[in-house]
Amino acid sequence: MYVCLCHSVTDTDIRRLVRTEGVCSMRELSRQLGVATQCGKCGRCAREVLGEALHEARSEAGCAALAAA
């Protein structure tokens, strides 16, 4: 789904950035994708998706650590 219409950013874009670039804050997200830098209406949704993506990334990292042990 589209999160930021001004910059054509989807939830998939945000999740990918968290996984591949280690983005973990709204500041970094805004800097890299432009989220919430124009009209600002996407800020709340972007923050929610970022939170979910970080939770998923931490869960996967925890599972990977358990599997490696």
8 binds ligand FES (CB under 6 A): no
The answer to whether 31 contacts ligand FES (rule: CB under 6 A) is no
CA distances (Å), origin 52, targets 41, 55, 59: 19, 5, 11
Backbone angles phi, psi at 23, to 5 degrees: -65, 130
Q: Is 44 in the site for ligand FES (CB under 6 A)?
A: no
Judged by CB under 6 A, which of 8, 19, 31, 40 binds ligand FES?
Answer: 40
Residue 68 β-bridge partners: none
**Cβ distance to ligand FES smaller for residue 12 or 59:** 12
- Which residues are near ligand FES by CB under 6 A? 4-7, 35-42
